[in-house]
Chain A
Amino acid sequence: MSGGDNVTDPLAKTPAPESGGLMVKAERVHKSFGRLEVLKGIDLEVRQGEVMCVVGPSGSGKSTFLRCINHLEKINAGRLWVNGHLVGYRQQGGKLYELRDREVSAQRREIGMVFQRFNLFPHMTALENVMGAPVWVKRQPKDQVRSRALTLLERVGLADKAQVYPSQLSGGQQQRVAIARALAMEPALMLFDEPTSALDPELVGEVLDVMKQLALSGMTMVVVTHEMGFAREVGDSLVFMDDGVVVEEGTPREVLANPQHQRTQDFLSKVL
């Protein structure tokens, strides 16, 4: 299955993909942590406006793949494009150049990310959490950012919690602030890394509602999740990953109702 043979030479020349309508394009993406190969050749495409749900057992590499998309993890082989830009590298004359920190940061600005553990900044109020990045990173005027941040907090149903610190919010409220914080950078793509896995069951719904609203507004989303109901209702496509490869891909209805592979059937029979 693994083995170095099928690993792409990172310096090999690959034709740039047509970016028309494509938000994410992954070509034979490999990722190892030391000797452990976590991604063994991922090929995926996410169209603009598409909501892709990624499911699979823990350790299947789905979170790692998500983190590769905004270069929180460096891929070892293959190619990954977001919005037509090669992630983390610049290709020039058949050679790859690592991007400087500043350039990587610039790429990340168009990608929002929501974490399983929220990762709100605890020393800042909800409003300050949302305002921080646009003010410091994009250097937008504070007044303008403040009114936009308040609108975003209202959109996630937390207008009354603007002046409150994260420790005073429930998990569901914290995650909604985290979504507003990511949206404040006006990203073209949103990544969700198991956004409801750390929540008490009765708080899952409020976060999924916000995500559904976001999907309806046309945002391109890649969602790693265990919420099959959400995948069926909101997802445009469903990807099943296991052991570092994409086992099955299709519309949620197809994959959930009629899985083609034994591994998919086994997994779904356990979670559905």
Chain B
Amino acid sequence: MTVDDDVEKGRPEAIRAVPVRHPGRWVAAAVVVVLVAMFINFLLTSDALEWPEQRKYITSDAVLRGVRNTILLTVAAMIGGMVLGTVLALMRLSANPLLSGAAWFYLWFFRGTPLYTQLLIWGAIGSLFPTVGIGIPFGPEFQTWQTQALVTPMLAAGLGLILNEAAYMAEIVRAGILSVDEGQQEAASALGMSRMQTMRRIVLPQAMRVIVPPTGNEVLSMMKNTSLVAAVPFSELTFTAQTIYASTYKIIPMLVMACLWYLLLSSVLMIAQYYIERHFSRGVGKNGSARTQRIRFRGGGGGQ
């Protein structure tokens, strides 16, 4: 039927049918409503949560210092982990078998042992390496320091998290680099660009699109994994909460308070990730900008 026919005969009547009923969904929805009501009731009426106690500590100096340390550790560990991870990824992709072998061994060790155990070792690093020094390998040392004095709890915690994170970031970066079409490197070489220029200007910016989403996950888990540096020990957010309830015996209120802080931090991180992903999706998709992605994001938010 052509458009002209339509105009002549008029549009056919719009369909008005009785929609299919979904009784299963109604039951499920009713169950969820009851559960949510029970949860809200619990939040409002439970004595165990002791909201006034939480309010007393949530912005106290000690807790704020713990939050600051958590943020510092997360930022330092992620930046260090990304830099070292990129180096390891390039080593693994190297044609030199010694370099790729060394990188493989590093990943094997740091991904094959628990982070908590690694951090315990960092806490006792003084007994593993009593002194550190500068000198000729297997030869004399020019300058020697006591490890225990040199490695503060902050440094031990940071190094432990960085070295562990680098192993995971290396695999993420490697996957990102491998995801870039080989033709891109050829085109860059054919234009006379050096290997470094090709990596920096052409390959890595495109690899970022693959690298950013899993890295967002890494930042979130890192933010939470900082709580493990209590093993060193170093006083970040969870450790601070523990210290407080050790004297007040208000265990649950302090832990819930810590959770609220973690949730606030991770919400900020998720928003940041959305904007970073949008930046690196330049030139992808028919619209060339992130407009399609924003629609998808909204659609996802209001999903049915």
Contacts and interface: CB of A to CB of B under 8 A. Distances in A.
Interface string B178-205: 0001011011111111110100011001
A168 B187 CA distance: 20
A108 interface: yes
B285 interface: yes
Given A124-B283, A165-B288, A167-B286, A136 B193 contact: yes
A105 B193 contact: yes
Contacts of B183: 115, 117, 119
A39 interface: no
A167 B188 CA distance: 18
A176 interface: no
B16 to A, nearest CB: 41
Nearest to A107: B192
B284 interface: yes
Query: What range describes how many residues of B lie at the interface?
Result: 20 to 34
B111 interface: no
Nearest to B192: A109
Nearest to A137: B192
Nearest to A116: B183
Given A115-B187, A121-B187, A137 B283 contact: no
Contact of A167 (B187, B189, B206, B288): B288
Interface string B190-227: 11111101000110011000000000000000000000
B287 interface: yes
Interface in A104-151: 105-106, 108-109, 111-113, 115, 117, 119-125, 132-133, 136-137
A167 B284 contact: yes
A61 to B, nearest CB: 18
A166 B282 CA distance: 11
Nearest to B209: A123
A123 B192 contact: no
Contacts of A124: 283
B186 A133 contact: no
B191 A101 contact: no
A226 to B, nearest CB: 20
Contacts, number: 80
B195 A123 contact: no
Contacts of A168: 286-288
A123 B282 contact: yes
Contacts of A125: 283
Nearest to A121: B202
A122 B288 CA distance: 9
Given A108-B192, A165-B283, A121 B184 contact: yes
A239 interface: no
B193 A166 contact: no
A106 B189 CA distance: 10
Contacts of B282: 123, 165
Contacts of B194: 101-102, 105, 137
A135 to B, nearest CB: 10
Of B186, B197, B205, B283, most A-chain CB atoms within 10 Å: B283
Contacts of A167: 283-286, 288
Contacts of A185: 191-192
A11 interface: no
Given A72-B186, A123-B205, A164 B288 contact: yes
A122 B197 CA distance: 16
A166 B193 CA distance: 20
Contact of B187 (A102, A119, A137, A164): A119
Nearest to B193: A137
A123 B207 CA distance: 10
Contact of B190 (A72, A120, A121): A72
A122 B284 contact: yes
Contacts of A132: 191, 201
Nearest to A184: B191
A106 B186 contact: no
A162 to B, nearest CB: 13
Contacts of B190: 70, 72, 108, 111-113, 115, 182
A123 B191 contact: no
Interface string A78-107: 000000000000000000000001100110
Contacts of A115: 183, 186-187, 190
A165 B186 CA distance: 20
Contacts of A122: 206, 283-284
A108 B288 CA distance: 31
A181 interface: yes
B259 to A, nearest CB: 39
Contacts of A120: 187
19 contacts: A72-B190, A105-B189, A105-B192, A108-B190, A115-B183, A115-B186, A115-B190, A119-B183, A121-B184, A123-B206, A136-B193, A136-B197, A164-B288, A165-B283, A166-B283, A178-B187, A181-B191, A182-B190, A182-B191
Given A113-B190, A164-B288, 6 more contacts: A72-B190, A133-B191, A133-B192, A133-B193, A165-B283, A166-B283
Question: Which 3 pairs of residues, A with B, have the shortest CB-CB distance?
Answer: A119-B187, A109-B192, A165-B283
